[in-house]
Amino acid sequence: MKLQVASISKKFDQKIIFDQASFTFEKGKIYGLLGRNGSGKTTFFNCITKNLKLDEGEIQLLEEEEARNYDNTEIGFTQTYPQLPAFMTAYEFIRFYMDIHREQIRVSRSPEDWLDLVGIAREDQHRLLKDFSHGMQNKVQMLLSLVVQPPVLLLDEPLTSFDPVAALEFKNLIREAKKDSVIIFSTHILQLAQDLCDEIVLLHHKHFQAIPAEKLHDAAFEQEIVALLSDEEGR
């Protein structure tokens, strides 16, 4: 399975975000999406989820070389600012979410075990979500996508609020999930991209630019990325 982005264009007033941009993201890889602030990373995710309408082009799933449209249940999107039900506890919410998605769940774990994985202590699992810190809410939101493991998983600035132990657990879960999903995450942390990604994609001059996988661990990788993105600032 692949996520096919075909000649997409999008602008806001006079600001052009994408101009006939194309790329194909494949299942089995973790893609790191890098770009300067305002380059369109979150806009791209919102176009995939259909929260924003493209001006031109299409985004489709490609299965056995047959392109098809998809619905929102096939896209998991972890946003920078979580949107969770304030008056449910973390345990109640995860249990409810598992109940309504039971046919999609591939890994058998209890709600407590899932919450343990992201470092939510047992005593906190029965607190109202409205009383959680932003970091704790972010962990719960990110967990939703990993519980159901949709065909496409979008992670907007993941792991930034995680402690080292929970971050390691999540990295392992994401690596496991790539077997069955297209995974794209945006980040400003180059070291995280190097550690977790199979491929880096730059949002650069209103197009997608792949960085060869073999360059990920070059000593000059960081300098090359910074030079490319600095070049964009000057244009």
Model pLDDT, residue 234: 44
Model pLDDT, residue 232: 58
Identify the domain containing residue 228 by its residue range. 2-233
Model pLDDT, residue 228: 73
Amino acid at 116: D
Q: How many CB atoms lie within 10 A of CB 151?
A: 18
Report the run of H or E that residue 230 belongs to, with start and end: helix 221-233
Mean pLDDT rounded to a whole number for the chain: 87
Model pLDDT, residue 49: 93
- CA neighbours within 13 Å on the CB side: how many for 54? 21
DSSP state of 150: -
Q: How much is the pTM?
A: 0.84
DSSP secondary structure string, 25-92? EETT-EEEEE--TTSSHHHHHHHHTTSS--SEEEEEEEETTEEE---GGGEEEE-SS----TTSBHHH
Candidates 71, 56, 72, 79; CA nearest to 5 is 56
pLDDT digit string (tens) for 78-111? Answer: 876 778 999 999 999 999 999 998 888 878 899 9
Q: What are the strands of the beta sheet with 56-63, ordered from one edge?
A: 15-26, 2-12, 56-63, 66-68
Report residues of the chain scoring pLDDT below 50: 233-235
Domain count, the chain: 1
β-bridge mates for residue 154, sequence order = 77, 184
DSSP state of 128: B
- 222: domain CATH number is 3.40.50.300
Model pLDDT, residue 133: 86
Give, in degrees to the nearest 5, the angle at Cα 164 between 187 and 146: 60
